Amino acid sequence: MAKDQFGVEGELFGYNHENIAKIHDRVNEVAKNTVSSIETVIENDIVIPMSTVWYAPEAQDFFNNLKITVEGVAETLTKAFNDFIANVNSAEEAWAKKTSSETYGMGAMTTVQPIDPLEITIDIKAIKDQDRGNVSLHKARALNIANNDLATVQTNLEKDIAKQKGELESVNQAFLGGGQGAAVESCFETVLEAIGHIFDFLTKGENNLQGQIIAAADTYVKMAESVATEFTKQA
């Protein structure tokens, strides 16, 4: 059996209001790191690779909609982290009342302030409507990104978010024993759901990235064949 801080076997139960006072800064840092991870992955692993294989107005339309989808996730993330903070405040209030902490001079209860609204900014300027006059699509390379790379990108992003979860779990030092870290799990379930929403846009539904690529490729192939036929007729 594990030993507590006094070297005695068993679990220590309680809370530490000094550590609670540090929670806002830690949550704010984790929230901003989460946003940074999303921005970096979407831009570096999706937008930029696609910008080298698809030059067309419809490419710009698709990625503009992706930008709107990703940036719209910021509100969900802000709520998730602030719900976590609200749970921390409720827990501290419950402990303070139960232990009469204020009455016996342990210090006034610290209310953890919510974080400021998060903002996600996705730069899609790399997606062009043409390349030196060429409106074109490299179907095989584009589909490789849509089919294979997206799954890897999502997995890597979720791993990065798991690291942020680990950072937030250190908040448990403010609440001792009894499995009081359930709020951390709830918070990051919401974060991962928001990330899932981004990749649903990319991989599912009628307007997903793969479908857009295939539709564009089919259109370009038919157009090329049609033009070739017209030239043949005139030969």
Residue type, 49: P
Is 19 domain-assigned? yes
Structural domain count, the chain:
1
The boundaries of the domain holding residue 62 are 14-123+136-230
C-alpha 102/C-alpha 106 separation (Å) is 6
- Asked whether the whole model's pTM tops 0.85, one would answer no
Q: pLDDT tens per residue, the chain (235 residues)?
A: 455 555 556 566 677 777 777 788 888 999 999 999 999 999 999 999 999 999 999 999 999 999 999 999 999 999 999 988 888 888 777 777 777 655 444 455 677 889 999 999 999 999 999 999 988 889 899 888 888 788 888 898 988 888 888 877 766 667 766 666 677 778 888 888 988 889 888 888 667 888 888 888 888 888 878 887 867 766 5
Residue 130 in any domain: the answer is no
Distances (CA, A) of 5 to 10, 99, 174: 10, 20, 14
In a domain, residue 172? The reply is yes
**Residue 187 falls within a domain, yes or no?**
yes
Burial 52-79 (b: 16+ CB within 10 A, else e): ebbbbebbbebbeebbebbbebbeebbb
Structural domain contains residue 24? yes
Distances 87 to 49, 81, 166 between C-alpha atoms, Å = 41, 10, 18
- Is there a domain that residue 116 lies in? yes
